[in-house]
Amino acid sequence: MPVDEGFVTTEQEASPRREDGDTAELRTTIDASAGARLLEQRIIRFDPGRSKERSNDGRQEVLYVVAGRGTLHLGGESYALEADMGVFIAPGECYTVENPGPDVLRIVSVTAPVSELGVGPERRVTVRYADREPLPATSNREFRYLVNEDAGCLDVTQFVGVIPPSKAPHHTHDYDEVVYVIEGEGVLHLGGAETPMGPGTCIHLPPRTRHSLENVGSGNMRVLGVFHPSGDPSRAYIDNK
């Protein structure tokens, strides 16, 4: 389908890149070539050791720890990393990631441009999923904010959504969004096509793109969503056609 009507791929389909001497392997899954003019999604796998210093040339970055543990070194401070954690890297900041091993530390990175809003006064670097309140979304679904304005990130919202076995009505959002399937099996209804989804599926949904995520498994599906501009993931425009 045309990329301006949405895009779907998997992290396994993206080509890996690694700089000499770095512990980080990058896979760019969604960028401008996929129709995402503002957001860039990458999957980063940190092997044991300490990575090279990373920066984003003035963009802001939100990270989500899919699996593993480690330490983020940022601005002379150290922050513990664990699964189901969101991280806010403000514009202009540089950081390294240390993985004590033996397992790989897997992270979803999404970068976005910065507006005149800047960074809010309540800046938080890390946010744990377990510490956030579950909130109702469309149908019988729920979500929890990770990085949003509560963490000082005023342009972007990062959240984890929980989808029980069900199919939501087709709907649209006003914001530009990228999605990563954390766990579960389902079907993406987008642009007249039905695409199987599983762990590692990556989706771009431009504003006002008609879509539906269906959970066809027996347990919950969990998805990571990041969208711009910041707002409320539960605000949707239902289309029952």
pLDDT of 3 strictly over 80: no
Angle at 139 between CA 134 and CA 141, to 5 degrees: 30
pLDDT of 16 strictly over 50: yes
142 φ/ψ sector (left φ>0, alpha ψ -120 to 50, else beta): beta
Percent residues over pLDDT 70 in the chain: 97
End residue of a domain, out of 61, 82, 116: 116
Which pLDDT score, from 0 to 100, does residue 163 have? 95
End residue of a domain, out of 59, 86, 116: 116
Shared domain for 137 and 201, answered yes or no, is yes
Cβ atoms within 10 Å of 94's Cβ, excluding its own = 12
pLDDT of 2 strictly over 80: no
Is the residue at 31 inside a domain? yes
pLDDT tier at 239, thresholds 50, 70, 90: low
Is the residue at 164 inside a domain? yes
Q: What is the CATH number of the domain that holds 82?
A: 2.60.120.10
Shared domain for 108 and 33, answered yes or no, is yes
Which pLDDT score, from 0 to 100, does residue 85 have? 98
Is the residue at 18 inside a domain? yes
Shared domain for 46 and 101, answered yes or no, is yes
Domain count of the fold of the chain: 2
Is the residue at 2 inside a domain? no
Which pLDDT score, from 0 to 100, does residue 135 have? 95
Structural domain for 192, as ranges: 129-238
End residue of a domain, out of 87, 116, 145: 116
For tokens 């904010």, the residue is 145
Average per-residue pLDDT in the chain?
94
pLDDT tier at 1, thresholds 50, 70, 90: very low
More confident residue, 44 or 138: 44
Which pLDDT score, from 0 to 100, does residue 140 have? 83
Q: Can the peptide bond before residue 229 be classed as cis, meaning omega within 30 degrees of 0?
A: yes
Shared domain for 155 and 87, answered yes or no, is no
Which pLDDT score, from 0 to 100, does residue 240 have? 53
Which pLDDT tens digit goes with each residue over 121-155?
999 999 999 999 999 987 688 999 999 999 999 99
